[in-house]
Amino acid sequence: MADMRRTFNGEDVEKILADVAEKLEANLDKSDTVAMQGTAVKKADLLEAIAARRQPYHDVKMARLELGAKIAARDTQADSTLAFVKQLDAGIAAKVGTNPTEKAKYGLPIPKAKRQLTVEELASRAAKMRATRKLRKTLGARQKEKLKATGDFTVKVSSTTTVVPSNGSEAGRSTASPVPGAVDGTANGTGR
């Protein structure tokens, strides 16, 4: 199919036809003629010929506008249509089962097999997974073993009690310093 949009002296033919029709209407008298291929053409006939040549361009413009409106109408329904297709799939699966070949008998597509990843893609995926788990602090038990500290974690707490005679302001008060993180004065907070 040939492209209907041609140019003449660098201008679009459709624009030229519109401009010529406008200028002929304004500047040419009704009785004036224009010589075209050796024939004198009256103003009315000339404007009619220009209008006939412009009509396909106008039709294309209107069709594009109509197509744009139809595409917009389709796109507004896209989410509900997809939901309907999913419900349809679930309904057919309930009737015939989840076997893709059985569902294909009712027009539903068979899921495509996943593409095998290349060695580079597999290595990249594994590295990303490890980095993400480390970042999120969701390492497994074996990875955590490498992070655990070793050594002696014995904490000793000494307690001294002073008794002040007769005024009772310091009687029975402990002067031991608490262990950070301990609830009841013991290192592990269990009271043992």
- What digits encode the pLDDT tens for the residues 9-18? 777 888 889 9
Q: Which residues contact 50 (CB under 8 A, 6 or more apart)?
A: 17, 20, 21, 24
Within a domain: 62: yes
Question: Considering the chain, what is the average pLDDT of its residues?
Answer: 81
Please check whether residue 131 lies inside any domain of the structure: no
Neighbours of 73 (CB within 10 A): 9
- pLDDT digit string, tens, across residues 28-45: 888 888 888 888 988 899
Q: How many domains, the chain?
A: 1
In-domain check, residue 178: no
Task: Enter the tokens of residue 82.
Answer: 């997809």
Domain annotation covers residue 65:
yes
Closest C-alpha to 100, from 111, 90, 85? 111
Instruction: Tell me whether residue 107 is in a domain.
Output: no
Q: 0.85 cut: is pTM over it?
A: no
Copy the structure tokens of residue 5. 């949009």
Residue 16 belongs to domain spanning: 7-76
